[in-house]
Amino acid sequence: MAQDAAKVPPRRTSRGKRRRNKASGPPPASNGCYGALDLGTNNCRLLIARPDRQEGFTVIDAFSRIVRLGEGLATSGRLSQESMDRAVSALSVCSQKLRRRNVTLARSVATEACRRAANGRQFVDRVRRETGIALDIIAPQEEARLAVLGCHKLLGPGDGPAVIFDIGGGSTELVLVEPDGDLPKIRAWWSAPWGVVSLTESEGRENLEGKDRLAAYERMRNRAREGFARFSEWLPKDRDDIRLLGTSGTVTTLASVYLELPSYDRRAVDGLHVPIDAMRDISQYIAKADFDGRAALPCIGSERADMVVAGCAILEAILDIWPAGELGIADRGIREGILRSLMARDGYRM
């Protein structure tokens, strides 16, 4: 670990609070399986689930792999052959799972990397030929809607406005919502062109690992804050009882560091509410640490150590414009939103 790196912030005596909500109403009986696949700039994720009377649905199979589809996209404007090969390999596994589980209805979406890449459509065609999966390149607004639908039940209680955000690999979606019955009403949304992959590549790994890495971190934080400037203008000025909920690998990873977990545990993280001061302390610690220091943290490891710094910069930029007292953590989002949409279409109450 670098000599100028601070110690890991001590675990708070007031542990994060967990809040959960269950779906209402018994769904009609069905043995059908539904599938939801999210191919992002950094990850490929699949959920297969059945409707459930208590929880809305029960996951019966899942898959997640870091594929870094958007690697090099910021400079070349294209998906590289290597990144496409990695993604197709992961999607082939997903295709096998969907067939083995006899999934009756599925939706597969692709986000920022495929939206931005000059060869994004050609890649989608290749995926269909080689795996049978029909990827739908969705617009940022649809991405934000699905994320809200998938995780809004983890919002803390209150009648005030809330911001739900999703830090992705190539973009960050922010949504301002207000209470409106079972599903919050979307008042404004914004898609900023900075995610953990694009922001890392824009700054350069050599700067992030150099002796002036704190200066590089501040540049990334300022760049993200500028990307959110338009959205911040739409935020209400009288902000009593504000709430904040994040869904992404960044927030779940930082929550794991906060809990000092020896390995990732979704049950401990999903639904957690963490004091904002703790999240800032952890973000600053990660910004100061070198690659080896970050990789030594159990829930970061070498696979996430190079991207997590950018995620922290984006998170702090969000905290700058929406200073809530605590951050809700959701290990759910687009895939869960897809599942709820598909099941609601078939008459299940979500």
Model confidence over 156-212: pLDDT tens digits?
888 889 999 999 999 999 999 998 777 889 999 999 999 999 999 999 888 888 889
Q: Superfamily for 142-334?
A: Exopolyphosphatase. Domain 2 (3.30.420.150)
Q: What digits encode the pLDDT tens for the residues 278-293?
A: 999 999 999 999 999 9
Number of C-beta neighbours around residue 271 at 10 A = 21
Q: Superfamily for 33-138?
A: ATPase, nucleotide binding domain (3.30.420.40)
3 state SS of 335: helix
Q: What is the DSSP string of 33-96?
A: EEEEEEE-SSEEEEEEEEEETTTEEEEEEEEEEE--TTTTHHHHSS--HHHHHHHHHHHHHHHH
Domain ranges within the chain, ordered by starting residue: 33-138, 142-334
Beta bridge mates, 136: 109
Q: What digits encode the pLDDT tens for the residues 123-141?
A: 999 999 999 999 999 999 9
Torsion of CA 74, 220, 173, 294, to 10 degrees: 90
pTM (2 d.p.)? 0.86
**CB proximity list for 90: less than 8 A, separation 6 or greater:** 44, 63, 65, 67
**Would you place residue 18 in the very low, low, confident or very high pLDDT band (cuts 50, 70, 90)?**
very low
**Would you place residue 16 in the very low, low, confident or very high pLDDT band (cuts 50, 70, 90)?**
low
Question: 10-14, 101-105, 151-155, 341-345 — which is least confidently predicted?
Answer: 10-14
**Are 33-138 and 142-334 equal in CATH topology?**
yes
Percentage, residues of the chain above pLDDT 90? 78
The shares of helix, strand and coil residues in the chain, as percent rounded to the nearest 5, are 45, 20, 35
Question: 103-107, 204-208, 296-300 — which is least confidently predicted?
Answer: 204-208
